[in-house]
Amino acid sequence: MSNNQITIPVEKTANSRIGDVDFNDLPFGKHHSDHMFICTYENGQWDNPKVVPYGNLELDPAAKIFHYGQSVFEGMKAYKDISGKSWLFRPLDNQKRLNISAKRLAIPEVPEEIFIQGLIALLQTDKDWIPTTSGSSLYIRPFIFASGSGFHASPADAYTFMIACSPSGPYFTQKIKVLIENTYSRSANGGVGYAKAGGNYAGQFYPTQLAMDKGYHQVIWTDDNTHEYIEEAGAMNVFIRIHDTLITSPVSDRILDGITRKSILAIAKKEGIAVEERKITVSEVVEAAKNGSIKEMFGAGTAAVVSPIGAFGHDGTDYQLPEVEDSYADLMKKRITDIQYNRSEDPFGWRFEVK
């Protein structure tokens, strides 16, 4: 980690909203903590990092974010253990991925020290917002957007990097039913699928809404060319257990390289579970559902953690997945959250204490 110390002034709010929030009932992403981190890019450099009270922004209507969607974001969480210590999970991976996304969107990369020290300063200020209620955490949303203005369709000359936080409960509160998509596409070769670009999500809303109207919670995206290969879900990577082997699609320039995904692959290998990172066809999954060899499917992501999939639909038919004892989903969820909440050893060195 970079040792280059930066100065981050903190302006504290005089009116904390923490008393207005019911920490026993935390919808995902609805409430925001008292402060936010903000830093601006002008004249070719990132400058003026500070923690300020959470609040509205003032932007030029011609800011390029509004017209050309030049924005990228990250998703992370802070966890509190029973002794009151605060933890992050693999924060440098998020910092690096933000810059991978930024580069693809012609956004200037944020130096590691601004990301990490800004995040720490914000979490130190808002540490009381990290929930201790079971299954809850402080969801952290770092994001960069084009605040520079002009209608010319070209990269902006000014950007804003911010971090905002939301005390949150589970993203999904039940087993999910997914639709394997065979009309719309989320991404394409040479596109921006591997980036956490805001527009990737906007583009999913309409097809996901159509799926929701039919009773599904999320879409599982397939390759744009043939719709025959499983790629990932709207906000999660996807794992499929056939017999006792855990299979997930390889990442590519169409798929987000999920931090939860790679953590699960590492944990599964350590547990002696057979894992395969390989292309998996829709026909193989449908066939496995018909012949009973499919045992489980689950999604994996920061917000979703490990979310079991109860059924999937494809081409007008729904396939129910069996209830299995000792599921891999439960095991993976336990192992990963035990590390995140400091309830177990961390043999991988993923945990990072926020002091």
Backbone angles phi, psi at 207, to 5 degrees: -60, -35
Backbone angles phi, psi at 77, to 5 degrees: -140, 150
For ligand PLP, the binding residue among 230, 259, 280, 329 (CB under 6 A) is 259
Question: Does 306 interact with ligand PLP (rule: CB under 6 A)?
Answer: no
Task: Please give the residues from 260 up to 289 whose contact with ligand PLP meets the rule CB under 6 A.
Answer: 260-261
168 binds, among ligand PLP, ligand COI, none (CB under 5 to 8 A by kind): none
The angle, 0 to 180 degrees and rounded to 10, between the axes of the packed helices 259-270 and 328-340 is: 110
**CB count in 10 Å sphere of residue 154:** 11
Q: Are strands 274-277 and 294-301 parallel, antiparallel or unpaired?
A: unpaired
Question: Does 198 interact with ligand PLP (rule: CB under 6 A)?
Answer: no
Chain residue whose CB lies nearest ligand COI: 75
Name which of 86 and 302 has its Cβ closer to ligand COI.
Answer: 302
Rg, C-alpha atoms of the chain: 21
In angstroms, the CA 84 to CA 100 distance is 33
For ligand PLP, the binding residue among 91, 118, 167, 301 (CB under 6 A) is 301
**CB count in 10 Å sphere of residue 291:** 9
Write out the residues near ligand COI by the rule CB under 6 A.
75, 201, 235, 301-303
Question: Does 108 interact with ligand PLP (rule: CB under 6 A)?
Answer: no
Give the shortest CB-27-to-ligand PLP separation in angstroms.
18
Contact region with ligand PLP (CB under 6 A), list: 54-62, 121-129, 233-241, 337-345: 233-241
Give the shortest CB-12-to-ligand PLP separation in angstroms.
30
At residue 15, the 3 state secondary structure works out as: coil
Query: What amino acid occupies position 252?
Result: S
- Residue 60: its H or E element: none
Residues that bind ligand PLP (CB under 6 A): 75, 232, 235-237, 256, 258-261, 301-302
